[in-house]
Amino acid sequence: MISVKEKTLAAKVRSDFPILHQEINGKSLVYLDNAATSQKPLIVLDTLRHYYEKYNANVHRGAHSLSVRATEAYEGARDKVAKFINSESSQEIVFTRNATEAINLVAYSWGLTNLKPGDEIIISVMEHHSNIVPWQMIAQKTGAVIKYVFLTEQEEFDLDQFKSLLSRKTRLVAIVHVSNTLGCINPVREITSAAHQVGAKVLIDACQSAPHLAIDVQHIGCDWLVASGHKMCAPTGIGFLYGKKEILEGMPPFLGGGEMIGEVFLEGFTHGKLPHKFEAGTPAVGEVIALGAAVDYLTTIGLDKIHVYEEELTTYLFKRLTEISKIRIYGSKSNLDGKGRAALASFNVEGIHGSDLSTLLDNEGISIRSGHHCTQPLHRLFNASGSARVSLYFYNTLEEIDSFILALKETIDFFTEIM
């Protein structure tokens, strides 16, 4: 089954991704683990190779031609990311190794400086460990208290409970935009507005939204936003932090060393200006430039087109999943047709471990994820040690969903026969 949208998008872009055109265990690869990491288009691979072949040099510190070219491309990528999320200034974009480092930067720079005993941090039970553990560590160091937003009966973010937790003691709210397990799209603008009314700062984890949805940080109004490049067609080892300029200016450096300095004396140092005061040491120059190429690629396709096409894929995925008996799909009970969800589904099949499902599906060339997806507290809430997860991107097709469903049914039949 191939739709008109698929012909104009998935079929059009699949040739850009060389990794998709191979066999696994003698079967055509069906890659459905995009929430873990996306595949990389040729333009990104070629950009990375071109940097190392043609103008590999350190940035900002050299006057020679290669360094000038590298610096221009590096800072050009910063401009592209700023435009991609509608940041007011490229000075508000800090390059990090990944979103985890970006969250830790805020936690240790802003958190240690501003939090004190009795202050409250609000996060949700659906957060990725990277947006839980840093705040737990900071709470231990500062005496701040963490409060958790739980789920509604529909297994969605409980906005009413969140609002009831807010008080003048609330100093920080750190919330995921799109859950990597539930697939729910949280109302981050409303969350931000409510938090600001009590004077709290807001950090948004956009790892699962930036690759799929148009992000506008000025519209959301958040104080910080983080994302990882490897989930949005860029290489691993590169992510970014957005922060409002006035807030970043008031935060002390996170790491010390080359690049972040202004001047260094035996008695002390001065730090550089934004954003470089948070980019200590030699940066991932090639990866940043390739991130810029990935942003160009996604922008050329259009995030709106990607979202519309993925809605079609998601609706079809949930239609096919609900054909299977004894399946437990996690997330919103009000939209089991897939509408209003991100392009992923976490599930368990009664009596069959998710890891067993994943292993046998791999024998058929189908790559899905199994485990706790770095959301152990959420899985404990469901009395589950883990789950299987299928996650889609704009290069996936309806035919691949059919192949997955067929292999899943055959796998379930196999386990049913031997039990």
Q: What is the dihedral of CA 206, 300, 391, 373, to 10 degrees?
A: -30
Boundary (domain end) residue, out of 273, 299, 325: 299
Q: What is the arithmetic mean of pLDDT over 305-325?
A: 95
Q: Dihedral of CA 198/199/200/202: which sign?
A: positive
| Percent of the chain residues past pLDDT 90, beyond the cut | 89
Per the domain annotation, does 294 fall within a domain? yes
Separation CA 330–CA 346 (nearest Å): 6
Position 6 pLDDT exceeds 50: no
292 and 400, same domain (yes or no) = no
166-205 pLDDT tens trace = 999 999 999 999 999 999 999 999 999 999 999 999 999 9
pLDDT at 5: 47
Separation CA 141–CA 152 (nearest Å): 32
Boundary (domain end) residue, out of 266, 299, 332: 299
210-243 pLDDT tens trace = 999 999 999 999 999 999 999 999 999 999 999 9
400-407: list long-range contacts, CB under 8 Å, 24+ apart. 400/30, 400/32, 401/313, 401/316, 401/317, 401/320, 402/1, 402/320, 403/30, 403/364, 403/366, 404/30, 404/32, 404/361, 404/366, 404/368, 405/320, 405/321, 405/323, 405/324, 407/360, 407/361, 407/364, 407/366
153 and 230, same domain (yes or no) = yes
Per the domain annotation, does 39 fall within a domain? no
More confident residue, 63 or 293: 293
Q: Yes or no: say if 398 and 63 are a contact pair by the CB < 8 Å rule.
A: no
- Split into its structural domains, the chain has a count of 2
Question: Which residue range is the domain that position 203 belongs to?
Answer: 45-299
Per the domain annotation, does 140 fall within a domain? yes
CATH of the domain at 327: 3.90.1150.10
150 and 231, same domain (yes or no) = yes
144 and 291, same domain (yes or no) = yes
pLDDT at 333: 73
Separation CA 163–CA 374 (nearest Å): 26
Separation CA 115–CA 133 (nearest Å): 16
365 and 392, same domain (yes or no) = yes
Per the domain annotation, does 293 fall within a domain? yes
323 and 356, same domain (yes or no) = yes
Q: How many helices (H) and strands (E) does the chain have?
A: 16, 17
335 and 198, same domain (yes or no) = no
Per the domain annotation, does 203 fall within a domain? yes
Boundary (domain end) residue, out of 284, 299, 314: 299
Per the domain annotation, does 37 fall within a domain? no
CATH of the domain at 208: 3.40.640.10
159-171 pLDDT tens trace = 999 999 999 999 9
3-state DSSP assignment of residue 323:
coil
Per the domain annotation, does 36 fall within a domain? no
192 and 328, same domain (yes or no) = no
Phi, psi of 238 (to 5 degrees): -145, 135
Separation CA 318–CA 290 (nearest Å): 34
Non-local CB neighbours of 395 within 8 Å, separated by 6+ positions: 10, 13, 14, 16, 17, 20, 39
Of 184, 207, 233, 374, which is the active-site residue?
A: 374
Confidence of residue 157 (pLDDT cuts 50, 70, 90): very high
284 and 316, same domain (yes or no) = no
pLDDT at 2: 41
Per the domain annotation, does 239 fall within a domain? yes
282 and 136, same domain (yes or no) = yes
224 and 365, same domain (yes or no) = no
pLDDT at 7: 60
185 and 223, same domain (yes or no) = yes
270-295 pLDDT tens trace = 888 899 999 999 999 999 999 999 99
**207 is known as an active-site residue:** no
